[in-house]
Structure 1
């Protein structure tokens, strides 16, 4: 009986987690590419080789740094919201999330080899990857996801047709 009562709650929790992961996945690759391009800019050019050369625990500490640096920005956003500037506060939180995701994505690409030298990190990373793939497969099997993909394809086709007629 308890299992039947909790089933909708578990489904909702899985969906929320999946949406968070999908957002991260959606932003991970393009944002990482953008930061890689910025890394080619002369002032930042020496940063990537330096990061790649870090020992494993220094690399891990560097990976945590963007999360710590974003805390004051989020506090500022909460202050803005508390003082009636809701749209600006939410905008600051969203911008911080995008910038934080971009930094973590790029840093992880650079330091993953160092992290894989940590004996305890490898099984955690493998478990996380397997769990994430299972969760994403579950989302992709849901009717709303399949319907959204069809709508996205149709919308994309219509936009391309409208764009080609405009030219």
Structure 2
């Protein structure tokens, strides 16, 4: 009996946490390519594209270290944001978190595209990546099949039509 209750509670918790996690994953999916391209344009504007072939040539564990570096570098920034929120600067703290998330996503996306071939040469990484991709795709398929997602997509299409009509008439 106790195991059934525990399992039911864990399943309920899993369903409850699935939506925020799915939203986070959707943000990453939405931002991954555009942010990566923006970072590439920034690198080109700063004449830093010479770094990319060197990054692509890294051996697997050096590529892994470089890929994990943004996470470590953003940790103090996120702690600063929490400190700001704790000291009655919620908007500033929230802005720091959002900025760190967007910048971190851009950097990680670009680094992953450059280091992915080296990372996938690590058997354990390739295995984790395949499992992660399968799990993420199943979660996103579940979210995209839900009525809130379908309703949101319908609303988006409706607003896009209204916006186009507004601009044609104006």
Fold similarity call, TM over 0.5: yes
TM-score, length-scaled by structure 1: 0.92
Say if 1:77 and 1:93, in contact at 8 Å, map to a contact too: yes
> Could you tell me which residue of structure 2 aligns to residue 139 of structure 1?
143
3-state secondary structure, aligned to 1:67: helix
> Could you tell me which residue of structure 2 aligns to residue 73 of structure 1?
77
> Could you tell me which residue of structure 2 aligns to residue 46 of structure 1?
50
- Give the unaligned 5+ runs of structure 2: none
Tell me the number of residue pairs that the alignment of Structure 1 and Structure 2 aligns.
166
Does residue 33 of the first structure (1) align with residue 37 of the second (2)?
Answer: yes
Q: Separation in 1 of the partners of 2:124 and 2:11?
A: 33
Map Cα deviations across residues 75-108 of structure 1 (whole Å, 9 max, x no partner). Answer: 2212222222111111011100100011000000
Of 64, 88, 94, 2:92 maps to 88
Map Cα deviations across residues 39-73 of structure 1 (whole Å, 9 max, x no partner). Answer: 22253121111111111100000011001111121
Map Cα deviations across residues 102-134 of structure 1 (whole Å, 9 max, x no partner). Answer: 100000001101111112211111111111100
Does residue 22 of the first structure (1) align with residue 34 of the second (2)?
Answer: no
> Could you tell me which residue of structure 2 aligns to residue 161 of structure 1?
165
Give the Å deviation of 1:6: 5.3
Q: RMSD value over aligned CA atoms? A: 1.6
Q: Separation in 2 of the partners of 1:110 and 1:153?
A: 35
TM-score, length-scaled by structure 2: 0.91
Q: Separation in 2 of the partners of 1:83 and 1:136?
A: 36
Q: Separation in 1 of the partners of 2:102 and 2:123?
A: 31
3-state secondary structure, aligned to 2:123: coil
5 Å-filtered alignment, 1:107-126, equals 107-126=111-130
> Could you tell me which residue of structure 2 aligns to residue 64 of structure 1?
68
Say if 1:39 and 1:48, in contact at 8 Å, map to a contact too: no
Give the Å deviation of 1:8: 3.9
> Could you tell me which residue of structure 1 aligns to residue 16 of structure 2?
12
Q: Separation in 1 of the partners of 2:14 and 2:75?
A: 30
